[in-house]
Amino acid sequence: MEKILITGGKKLSGTVKISGSKNASLPILVATLLTDEDCLVKNVPHLQDVETILALLKILGKRISRHNKNIKISSTYRLDSEAPYELVKKMRASILVMGPLLGRLGRVRASLPGGCAIGARPINLHLQGFRKLGAKVSLERGYVQLDAPRLHGANIYLDFPSVGATENLMMAATRAKGKTVIENAASEPEIQDLAHFLNKMGAKIKGAGTNIIKVEGVNVLSGTIHEVIPDRIETGTFMVAAAVTGGDVVIRGANPEHLEAVMTKLREAGAKITLNNKEIRVSSGKNLKATDIETVPYPGFPTDMQAQWMVLMSLSKGTSIITETVFENRFLHVGELQRMGSNIQVKGNSAIVKGILKLSGAPVMATDLRASAALILAALSAEGKTEIFGVNHLDRGYEDIERKLRRLGARIKRIKE
Ligand code: UD1
């Protein structure tokens, strides 16, 4: 078993380089199923979730070669249509293979993902959209089977702007006959990056990044080269790390345009942020003040930054309200933060946080990916030593985080027992 040991109280300072986006890499890698030709995807972070998707691509018949952060995906003689339980249960994003396989082969059998710690996370919107595109959907023994000898374009309205459903349907629609319009589509930067990649492959997608995406189906997609965008959640996490430790950090290689909501809220809370080309400098003194947030789809405040924000608010002056509207059960970190001294009360989908002067180190358990980042931030700002268990969650989504934090002065190490 591994744990992370942090001795808190050190102000972070220095420069950190942001990695490629996990949530953009995953759909882009699966989109290579839409072609037989070689694709080269650059700036892919070394993460457990990326390993899982590459393992799935191999099972489906792709050949993978990796040179540091560049991944070449080529074809073998076969393309399989089944995404097995063993891989889908490891990572929900595995269901993203449904769209490209359906578009390419006209059939796909994928294990249903089931829930996860932060919520039930159904896939009804994905399936409703596939039905509209002409697929027959059947469920049996925990698997969903989709059949459509030839997909056709359709008007699809998503009841909620789901990121995964938008990506899955956009990928399937690239190979449908005719025009597809996805209304109330998600507009996250990762969707824009996927559309950019697909268009380089020869797809005809317009409107990605807005709430209406139009896709004109094509007969064939070809190989291409693409560099993945920087990870906005990693960027936001380092911004909060700088603020919560009263530090002064320069963040390189990020795209500040993707973080408008987070930067606005950080400034409101009293952090100082300056932008210089692609560098973001974040510093703060001791005067952080309570600032409410509500998580909503992009361009609003991201749910993937909610847990980190809660740490900042735990140490800000006054009482703030954090409302989670995207996932129904994303407050699992509250209990762990309370063990470190935070004063938080959960009422329905809101958490009321009363700021205190100091957190204190304690043994804590990470329950999901962003919760583990929040515990790291709490530990960095706390008095004394914190042991964080459940490190596997962190390895799913933060490349090299210990080394990056150490370079900023943090006292952090991983211990294997
Ligand atoms: C993606 C991100 C995740 C982020 C989330 C919301 C990846 C790999 N993951 O997850 O980090 O937290 O967006 O920004 O990109 N829903 C339904 N039915 C569906 C699909 C979704 O009810 O068919 C609900 C979910 O249960 C959830 C909400 O919609 O409550 C948002 O989910 P969605 O946007 O689909 O998130 P993911 O794509 O799973």
pLDDT digit string (tens) for 74-89? 999 889 999 988 888 8
> Residue 405 and residue 407: Cα distance in Å, rounded?
5
Tell the burial category of 370 from Cβ atoms under 10 Å away from its Cβ (0-12, 13-18, 19+): buried
Q: Which of 182, 20, 190, 175 is nearest to 98 (CA)?
A: 175
Tell me the CA–centroid distance for residue 168 and ligand 1, in Å: 12
Tell me the CA–centroid distance for residue 165 and ligand 1, in Å: 8
Average pLDDT over residues 135-146: 92
Residue 68's identity, in one-letter code, is: N
* Under 8 Å between Cβ of 177 and 153: yes
pLDDT band at 118 (very low <50, low <70, confident <90, very high): low
Q: Which of 415, 354, 395, 407 is nearest to 241 (CA)?
A: 407
> Residue 390 and residue 361: Cα distance in Å, rounded?
16
CA-proximal residue: ligand 1, atom 13 (nearest): 163
Residue 226 predicted with pLDDT over 80: yes
**CB 123 near ligand 1, within 6 Å:** yes
> Residue 362 and residue 210: Cα distance in Å, rounded?
44
* Under 8 Å between Cβ of 380 and 410: yes
User: Is residue 184 left, alpha or beta, with left meaning phi > 0 and alpha meaning psi from -120 to 50?
Assistant: left
Tell me the CA–centroid distance for residue 199 and ligand 1, in Å: 24
Q: What is the pLDDT of residue 87?
A: 85
> Residue 237 and residue 377: Cα distance in Å, rounded?
8
* Under 8 Å between Cβ of 295 and 301: yes
**CB 326 near ligand 1, within 6 Å:** yes
Select from 144, 326, 332 the residue to mutate for testing ligand 1; criterion: most ligand atoms less than 8 Å from CB: 326
Q: 380-393 pLDDT, tens per residue?
A: 999 999 999 998 88
Q: What is the pLDDT of residue 116?
A: 62
Tell me the CA–centroid distance for residue 189 and ligand 1, in Å: 14
Tell me the CA–centroid distance for residue 368 and ligand 1, in Å: 14
* Under 8 Å between Cβ of 396 and 51: no
CA-proximal residue: ligand 1, atom 32 (nearest): 162
The continuous run of DSSP H or E covering 2 comes out as: strand 2-7
Find the range with the poorest average confidence among 304-308, 324-328, 374-378: 324-328
> Residue 53 and residue 207: Cα distance in Å, rounded?
27
Atom of ligand 1 nearest to the CA of 49: 8
Atom of ligand 1 nearest to the CA of 128: 23
> Residue 178 and residue 186: Cα distance in Å, rounded?
22
Mark whether 39 is an active-site residue.
Answer: no
Residue 329 predicted with pLDDT over 90: no
Residue 39 predicted with pLDDT over 60: yes
The one catalytic residue among 5, 40, 79, 116: 116
User: Is residue 128 left, alpha or beta, with left meaning phi > 0 and alpha meaning psi from -120 to 50?
Assistant: alpha
pTM, whole model, 2 decimals?
0.97
**CB 122 near ligand 1, within 6 Å:** yes
φ and ψ at residue 102, rounded to 5 degrees: -65, -45
Reading the block at residue 188, the tokens are 């996250």
CA-proximal residue: ligand 1, atom 21 (nearest): 162
